Amino acid sequence: MEYIGYFASILIGLSLGLIGGGGSILTVPVLVYLFKINPESATSYSLFIVGISALVGSYGHYKFGNLRIKSALIFAFPSILSLLFIRKIILPIIPISIFSINDFVVSKNLLIMIVFAILMIVASFSMIKKSNKDVEKTKKLDYKKLVVIGFLIGLVTGFLGAGGGFLIIPALLFFANLPMKEAVGTSLLIISINSIIGFGGDVLNGVQINYQFLFIISVIAIVGMIIGTVLSKKIDGAKLKPAFGWFVLIMGIYIITKETFLK
């Protein structure tokens, strides 16, 4: 299973490079099911893997002039606050066993995986449906909406270790008035800032990390990111997005089925 996990790690970076998101959706299931890592710990690993991969990708977009630093910082600051709040305050106080119904126990790990699966299903619909390119954008950067959405994305990132690129990109398109390529590049920068700071917070909080394993998976994901960035010049990521969305939908349904009915 580990060899499959290493291959899947390439897909994490590949999806980030091609469509500017989706990699974080894959990371936690890969870590949990293929590498047998505890779900809560997997969210910490995911933050670093996704963060460092997105950082490499954002640098590539910076060279192409596809980064908007101001929009990224406006979005990232409230995200960081809510992310650290979730990981420092909320996650630690959630009991290992939340409640039970007869012999069925709702544990902390089960809650993380079920919420993650729901996020995957919601994300899949946004990937599958065709985007309306004729939608009128806002005429100027909407600071208030960017701050609010940034705060909400931070909650998602903090609880699940997912970057939330599928939510960040639409927000940048409609509230920061960015073209698609700039939204993708700026999204990667936001993901990298949120994820790396979130991981740093976990380390300071005493989370145990296997750094050798983390380094190997991160390098593989970065290779995928570089390949995806190169391919993005030749392949329209928008055309691949629906197919990836169907894959994410199937994965989300599988996780719910496995965690609730196949235990």
Q: What is the pLDDT of residues 84-111, one digit of tens each?
A: 899 889 988 889 888 888 777 888 888 8
Entry pTM: 0.81
Gap between the Cα atoms of 187 and 72, Å rounded: 7
Give, in degrees to the nearest 5, the angle at Cα 187 between 183 and 193: 150
Convert the pLDDT of each residue in 252-261 to its tens digit. 898 889 888 7
Torsion angle, alpha carbons of 154, 156, 158, 160, to 10: -160
Lowest-pLDDT range of 73-77, 108-112, 242-246:
242-246
DSSP secondary structure letter of residue 64: T
59-64 average pLDDT score = 82
Convert the pLDDT of each residue in 18-35 to its tens digit. 766 666 778 888 898 899
Which one is predicted more confidently, 261 or 83? 83
Residue-level length of the chain: 263
Percent of the chain's residues with pLDDT above 70: 88
Gap between the Cα atoms of 226 and 233, Å rounded: 12
E strand or H helix that includes residue 185: helix 180-204
